[in-house]
A = this chain, B = another copy of it.
């Protein structure tokens, strides 16, 4: 049996998520749960939106990174941590490390937007460039670990990170009350895994559904085939969901997730716009994927139920939007 198909043990559950919630108290924001009558009408359900776009660094990733940092040994704290990410996990780890007083190093492809590089450096992390390939990322991280004794804080394939991510669903259930369905996006699977464990541990009858871009449906295929199906640089606007499913998340999703639904690119952008316009919050494309699936009617069992959706993040580069808008408005206002 190959490495990727052997089912991993799942060493964490609701207790570890509750511990993480205790650790994160006062450090992570308890984000609000919003609802929107226009959304409820469109999907025929009471939908509760857990707004992790209001989390620190604008995404749920802070929860997992902080939870991992707070469990390091004194020696590990002293030597520091490393990760690879060009996205929200980079900033999450950098901020968590700053708060924990731990040195952090983030490996980023040299193609990453300079705004993300700056934000990560802004929290005091060291940024090391690599080639934009999985091999180069992993080799660079391995070398840094070897050289400096850094501890890896993986973006999603890490039990502490998964437990931290699960605290969002825990809060959602506490604040929204009983939920019939919980739906969240699946990229590397860390959030969905934490959501599964938190939900199964507090509300075992709640159905769990994942959502992926149709163009990056590796987790769906992995669950259907019972083995991790790698994702090969999929082209989707949902840039946070391009990664392949991790082994630990795969183990959790295999046990707890009912199924994964998908959304097309245009549906993702329409859903993002729907949320921007109707809820007046900014969410990123990856975050819009579950909403897109709901709006497209791909979770029909939601009808008449109380459904929770984890809105994962809101980090969007607004530059191109604002340039045209400012010109237009200042022109009009003159």
> Given B56, B58, B269, B320, which contacts A324 in the complex, CB threshold below 8 Å?
B320
Interface 9-mer from A9-17, A181-189, A275-283: A275-283
A275 → chain B, closest Cβ, in Å?
10
Copy number in this complex? 2
Given the known interface contacts A266-B330, A273-B322, the answer about A53 and B237 at a Cβ–Cβ threshold of 8 Å is no
A326 → chain B, closest Cβ, in Å?
5
Interface residue A149 (Cβ < 8 Å from any Cβ of B): no
Question: Quick check: A280 and B277 within 8 Å, CB to CB?
Answer: no
- Using Cβ atoms and an 8 Å threshold, which residues of chain B touch A215? 333
Question: Quick check: A282 and B285 within 8 Å, CB to CB?
Answer: no
Query: Beta-carbon contacts of A47-79 to B below 8 Å, as 1s and 0s?
Result: 000000110101000000000000000000000
Given the known interface contacts A322-B273, A325-B321, the answer about A53 and B280 at a Cβ–Cβ threshold of 8 Å is yes
Interface residue A334 (Cβ < 8 Å from any Cβ of B): yes
Query: Beta-carbon contacts of A257-279 to B below 8 Å, as 1s and 0s?
Result: 00000000110010001001101
- Using Cβ atoms and an 8 Å threshold, which residues of chain B touch A321? 321, 324-325
A54 → chain B, closest Cβ, in Å?
6
A116 → chain B, closest Cβ, in Å?
13
> Size band of the A side of the interface?
35 or more
Question: Quick check: A54 and B279 within 8 Å, CB to CB?
Answer: yes
Interface residue A231 (Cβ < 8 Å from any Cβ of B): no
Query: Beta-carbon contacts of A302-334 to B below 8 Å, as 1s and 0s?
Result: 000000000000110010111011101110111
Interface residue A134 (Cβ < 8 Å from any Cβ of B): no
Question: Quick check: A236 and B333 within 8 Å, CB to CB?
Answer: yes
Query: CA A216 – CA B282 in complex, angstroms?
Result: 29
- Using Cβ atoms and an 8 Å threshold, which residues of chain B touch A42? none
Residue of A280, A318, A321, A326 most packed against chain B (CB within 10 A): A280
- Using Cβ atoms and an 8 Å threshold, which residues of chain B touch A315? 280
Interface residue A110 (Cβ < 8 Å from any Cβ of B): no
Query: CA A111 – CA B328 in complex, angstroms?
Result: 18
> Given B237, B265, B282, which contacts A276 in the complex, CB threshold below 8 Å?
B282
Interface residue A32 (Cβ < 8 Å from any Cβ of B): yes
A319 → chain B, closest Cβ, in Å?
9
Question: Quick check: A235 and B314 within 8 Å, CB to CB?
Answer: no
Given the known interface contacts A235-B334, A266-B330, the answer about A324 and B324 at a Cβ–Cβ threshold of 8 Å is yes
> Given B273, B280, B328, which contacts A54 in the complex, CB threshold below 8 Å?
B280
- Using Cβ atoms and an 8 Å threshold, which residues of chain B touch A273? 318, 322
Given the known interface contacts A235-B333, A281-B280, the answer about A320 and B328 at a Cβ–Cβ threshold of 8 Å is yes
Query: CA A325 – CA B285 in complex, angstroms?
Result: 11
5 other A-B residue contacts (CB within 8 Å) besides A54-B280, A215-B333, A266-B326: A32-B32, A265-B333, A273-B318, A273-B322, A281-B282
Footprint of B on A, CB under 8 Å? 32, 34, 37, 53-54, 56, 58, 215, 235-237, 265-266, 269, 273, 276-277, 279-283, 285, 314-315, 318, 320-322, 324-326, 328-330, 332-334
